């Protein structure tokens, strides 16, 4: 396994539509392993192929605190969604920033796993947000296009919660810097 270079906002590959994966080859399995390693190393909760310079429809997600519950989705698609939630988002491709984005509260997504099985996931809350964020990457979209209000520097958010004299619950347990 190896760490991959995370592409940043402004790089053209992040604006392109990623291509379907037709066959799960050893190379795809290596890519998935590298993406997980890269995501954990960067302390993110999700990573999509284009973010490591690979224009293929693959995402990895792990929202667990223990960092031991990875989901690897190949050719994922959202098949239904309902409700709405508004909350903080960040992205490993837009380092040091956060913004408020409205997403569905629940989504159902289909995908292929590394063994080639057709899978379905019902995601709610934060996981639903992560799935939507990552799937947007596969279509060349960044969360910053959907931010309500403005984009914040994470240092600003930390200062805000210090001034409030309490931790900002909306900003999460960390500093609002949930990175995907």
Catalytic residue annotation? 134
Our CB check for Zn ion shows the closer of 24 and 141 to be: 141
Q: Quick one: which segment of 58-66, 117-125, 145-153, 172-180 binds Zn ion (CB under 5 A)?
A: 172-180
Q: How far is the CB of 125 from Zn ion (least distance, A)?
A: 18
Q: Is 130 in the site for Zn ion (CB under 5 A)?
A: no
Q: Is 6 in the site for Zn ion (CB under 5 A)?
A: no
What is the CB neighbour count within 10 angstroms for residue 25? 10
Query: CB-based contacts of 31: which residues, under 8 Å, 6+ apart?
Result: 49, 52, 54, 56, 58
Q: How far is the CB of 36 from Zn ion (least distance, A)?
A: 15
Cα 96 to Cα 103: distance, rounded to the nearest angstrom: 21
Contacts of Zn ion in 78-117 (CB under 5 A) = 91
Query: CA torsion, points 153, 155, 158, 163, in degrees to nearest 10?
Result: -100
Our CB check for Zn ion shows the closer of 103 and 180 to be: 180
Q: How far is the CB of 95 from Zn ion (least distance, A)?
A: 11
Q: Is 180 in the site for Zn ion (CB under 5 A)?
A: yes
Our CB check for Zn ion shows the closer of 24 and 126 to be: 126
Pair 60, 71: CB distance under 8 Å: yes
Using alpha carbons, select from 68, 33, 61 the residue that is nearest to residue 137. Answer: 61
Q: Is 131 in the site for Zn ion (CB under 5 A)?
A: no
Q: Is 18 in the site for Zn ion (CB under 5 A)?
A: no
Our CB check for Zn ion shows the closer of 24 and 144 to be: 144
Q: Is 129 in the site for Zn ion (CB under 5 A)?
A: no
SS3 string of 91-141?
Answer: ECCEEEEEEEEEECCEEEEEEECCCCCEEEEEEEHHHHHHHHHHHHHHCCC
Q: How far is the CB of 81 from Zn ion (least distance, A)?
A: 19
Burial (CB count <10 Å: 0-12, 13-18, 19+), residue 66: exposed
Question: Which residue's Cβ has the minimum distance to Zn ion?
Answer: 91
- The residue ranges that bind Zn ion (CB under 5 A) are 91, 180
């Amino acid at each position: 396994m190896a760490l991959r270079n995370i592409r940043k906002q402004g790089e053209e590959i992040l604006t392109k539509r990623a291509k379907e994966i037709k066959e799960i080859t050893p190379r795809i399995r290596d890519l998935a392993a590298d993406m997980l390693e890269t995501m954990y190393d960067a302390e993110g909760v999700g990573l999509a192929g284009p973010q490591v310079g690979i224009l293929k429809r693959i995402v990895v997600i792990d929202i667990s605190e223990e960092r031991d519950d990875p989901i690897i989705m190949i050719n994922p698609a959202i098949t239904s969604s309902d409700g709405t939630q508004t909350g903080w988002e960040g992205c490993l491709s837009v380092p040091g920033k956060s913004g408020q984005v409205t997403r569905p509260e629940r989504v159902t997504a289909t995908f292929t796993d590394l063994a080639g099985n057709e899978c379905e996931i019902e995601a709610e809350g934060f996981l639903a947000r992560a799935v939507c964020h990552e799937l947007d990457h596969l279509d060349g979209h960044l969360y910053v296009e959907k931010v309500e209000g403005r984009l914040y520097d994470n240092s600003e958010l930390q200062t805000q919660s210090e001034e409030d004299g309490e931790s900002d619950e909306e900003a999460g347990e960390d500093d609002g810097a949930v990175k995907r």
